[in-house]
Amino acid sequence: MTTSAIVAADHLSKWYGQVIGLNDVTLSVPSGITGLLGPNGAGKSTFMKLVTGQLMPSQGEIAVLGEPIWQNPGLYFRLGFCPEQDAFYERMTGLEWVTALVRLNGVDEARATEMAHRALATVDLTDAAGKKIGAYSKGMRQRVKMAQALAHEPDLLILDEPLGGMDPIARRRTIRLIKDWGRAGKSVIVSSHILHEIESMTANILLINQGRILAEGNVHQIRDLIDDHPHTVHIKAERPRELARRFLAYDDVLSLKFEDEAVVVQTGRPDVFYTRLTELAAAGDLGTIHEVTSPDDNLQAVFQYLVKS
Amino acid sequence: MTAPANVTKPTLLASTMRIFDLSLGQMLWSRRSMLLAFLVGAPVLLAAALRIASSADRLGLPRIHGARVGGAALFGMMMWLLYIRFIVPVLGVFYGTSLIADEVDDKTLTYLFTRPIPRAAVLFGKYFAYLACTVLLVLPSVVLIYLLLGPIGGTLGEAFPTLVSDLGVLALGLTAYGAVFAFVGARLKRPVVIGLVFAFGWEPAVLLIPGYLKRLTVAYYVQALVPHAMPQNSVVSQLMQALADAPSLPASVVALAVISVVALWLAGRTVERREYVLEQ
């Protein structure tokens, strides 16, 4: 293990009864932004829970910012965690919730409120700060989770699938926020099952599948291998048919279909497609785009492809 | 790891109080508390019905097994049969076992366990929120019952000392049962089932057996504090009366305090060491 690493794992394994969550992982995560890429069930969340000290290693060791994390609450002054699960105290307002959590960091009420306001402004939730979380949209819920993670300005931010369910504008803002955080000298570990998402935040990735780290390094090397692999995007929108008509003009769109109020697109060039989609959402002339998701089978197929090649 | 320069590292007490602040509102407006309101509302309605019935009766005293009983006796029976033997253990089971389990089921535990506070503070804060919540709902209902039943065949002043001791007994019972079931909830799987078996299987059974086994119950000490005589309205009650081996009042209070502190300490220790796996 290197001492300069923000996270260092040495033969780290975690199993739940007979099920292996993480299998003999040795790695060292450098400072800056690191993407953890893998399909659902690959072990990303298990790794993140070990990094955040919620789980105890079954075997091996893990050090975060140079210290063991399990039963070391003092380390949480320097950590911020945004979990994947959509779980909240629904009756509290966003401001009350973030303030209450920041207060657990030993901050007095007035300062905690000020920090919560700042964090909510950072994720563009100032206008909704006084609304009950139960009334938030999926994207707003994602953002308020981010706010509680970064409100105390931690050195290391750990984000588990932070873009899931966000609309294109919120996605772009969140990606920019993560990049700004990295530029400010902080470290971020961000997980996703969408290569394009990770790629838009960092070039440094960890590829994980079936509890093992398959590769570490520059995203572009991986990208070259899978550039032509079709990528599916599920877009929930106010006017899906008009959106689809516009997509038909794009040369990277391979196929289109409708599901309820959504249009499902297969694209050969996800980066180009997402850029255009964000521009469309910002222009707003084809109605509101509510939610953009990408099914897990994209990456599953990519991994199968990588293993075969 | 030390706290940043401009932040004070939260102590166990400060962290406990902050979790208390965070939990009390959630607990008071939970579905469980709605059930609790119904549970403590039912005896109040019963008391109101008795008061109305006694007003309609010429002699003003309700009959039980043919004998006329006054308001003080009715109040004592309700305390004994409904509160001490049923409501207090039920509240202990349903709230105590859920202190951590609710956060696990709702998947909100992550937010509390990734803050720089001792994990035990989460349990302690929620435990005190449980106490505040149950005391706030249970004790006023008892006062209402007293106000409704006290004037039947007597005066409010006569039974007032009994009311004060009853309120104390209920608070002690809620404290001890809550602590025991907080430990059960933190330590065991299926804590509600185990809690119910303990409160309504083990405790009543063991209280019937002569010897020392009954000292391994909370009910033994709580029931010893009750200022009312046990009603002999059933074979079981008569048997319990015959086998009664009540500890002294100071011994009971000390025993309940020791049970509460030890159970809470064990629960806190369990939460500190245990891994909680949240389903995705």
Nearest to A45 among B8, B272, B280 (CB): B280
A82 and A161 housed in the same domain: yes
A52 and A153 housed in the same domain: yes
For residue B278, name the pLDDT band (cuts at 50, 70, 90). confident
For residue B212, name the pLDDT band (cuts at 50, 70, 90). confident
| pLDDT tens digits for range A185-213 | 999 999 988 887 888 899 898 989 889 98
Residue A242's Cβ-side half-sphere holds a number of Cα atoms within 13 Å equal to 11
For residue B37, name the pLDDT band (cuts at 50, 70, 90). confident
pLDDT at A271: 79
For residue A157 the two structure tokens come to 């931010």
Q: Which domain holds residue A215?
A: 7-224
The last residue of one of the domains, among A224, A250, A280, is: A224
> Cα separation of A205 and A32, whole Å?
11
pLDDT at B229: 56
A286 and A170 housed in the same domain: no
pLDDT at B132: 95
If one compares B230 and A31, the residue with the highest pLDDT of the two is A31
- Count Cβ atoms within 10 A of the Cβ of residue A36 and give its class: 0-12 exposed, 13-18 middle, 19 or more buried: buried
Nearest to A106 among B7, B106, B277 (CB): B7
Q: Is residue B154 part of a domain?
A: yes
Mean pLDDT of chain B: 86
When scoring B114, B122, B276 by the number of chain A Cβ atoms within 10 A, the one with the most, hence best to mutate, is B114
pLDDT at A3: 47
For residue A1, name the pLDDT band (cuts at 50, 70, 90). very low
A278 and A190 housed in the same domain: no
Number of structural domains in chain B: 1
Q: Are A118 and A151 in contact (CB under 8 A)?
A: yes
Q: Is residue B114 part of a domain?
A: yes
Sorted by sequence, the CB contacts under 8 Å of residue A250 that are 6+ apart come out as A267, A272, A273, A276
Number of structural domains in chain A: 2
Chain B interface includes A75 (CB < 8 A): yes
A109 and A241 housed in the same domain: no
User: Length of chain A, please?
Assistant: 309
Chain B interface includes A73 (CB < 8 A): yes
Q: Are B24 and B133 in contact (CB under 8 A)?
A: yes
Q: Is residue A91 part of a domain?
A: yes
Please choose, from the candidates A255, A282, A274, the residue with its C-alpha nearest in 3D space to the C-alpha of residue A266.
A255
pLDDT at B14: 93
> Cα separation of A69 and A106, whole Å?
19
Which residues of chain A are within 8 Å of residue B3 when distances are taken between CB atoms?
74, 77, 106
Chain B closest-CA separation from residue A285 CA (Å): 37
Q: Which domain holds residue B149?
A: 12-273
Inter-CA distances, A202 with A44, A175, B6, B73, Å: 17, 10, 32, 76
The last residue of one of the domains, among A168, A202, A224, is: A224
pLDDT at B53: 82
If one compares B114 and A286, the residue with the highest pLDDT of the two is B114
The last residue of one of the domains, among A224, A250, A281, is: A224
Mean pLDDT of chain A: 88
Q: Is residue A83 part of a domain?
A: yes
- Which CATH number goes with the domain that contains A278? 3.30.70
> Cα separation of B278 and B280, whole Å?
6
| pLDDT tens digits for range A104-137 | 999 999 999 999 999 999 999 999 999 999 999 9
User: Does the distance separating the beta carbons of A54 and B7 come in below 8 Å?
Assistant: no
If one compares B80 and B116, the residue with the highest pLDDT of the two is B116
Range with lowest mean pLDDT among A210-214, A289-293, B226-230:
B226-230
Does the structure show a pLDDT above 70 at B243? no
pLDDT at B231: 52
Please choose, from the candidates A73, A3, A70, the residue with its C-alpha nearest in 3D space to the C-alpha of residue A31.
A3
Q: Is residue A2 part of a domain?
A: no
A271 and A180 housed in the same domain: no
> Cα separation of A144 and A129, whole Å?
9
| pLDDT tens digits for range A166-186 | 888 888 889 999 999 999 999
Does the structure show a pLDDT above 50 at B109? yes
- Chain A / chain B CB contacts < 8 angstroms: 94
Range with lowest mean pLDDT among A39-43, A185-189, B102-106, B145-149:
A39-43
A89 and A215 housed in the same domain: yes
A242 and A163 housed in the same domain: no
- Which CATH number goes with the domain that contains A138? 3.40.50.300
A219 and A241 housed in the same domain: no
Sorted by sequence, the CB contacts under 8 Å of residue B185 that are 6+ apart come out as B96, B97, B98, B99, B100, B101, B191, B195, B267
Range with lowest mean pLDDT among A66-75, A243-252, B148-157, B207-216:
B148-157
ipTM: 0.82
Among A162-171, A193-202, A227-236, B88-97, name the most confident range. Answer: B88-97
Alpha carbon distance, N-terminus to C-terminus of chain B: 30
Q: Are A32 and A38 in contact (CB under 8 A)?
A: no
DSSP secondary structure letter of residue B79 = I
pLDDT at A2: 45
Chain A closest-CA separation from residue B1 CA (Å): 5
> Cα separation of B170 and A220, whole Å?
67
Q: Is residue A202 part of a domain?
A: yes
SS (H, E, C) A226-282: HCCCCEEEEEEECCHHHHHHHHCCCCCEEEEEEECCEEEEEECCHHHHHHHHHHHHH
If one compares B227 and A59, the residue with the highest pLDDT of the two is A59
| pLDDT tens digits for range A10-25 | 999 999 888 889 999 9
Does pTM surpass 0.90? no
Does the structure show a pLDDT above 70 at B57? no
A161 and A275 housed in the same domain: no
Chain B interface includes A248 (CB < 8 A): no
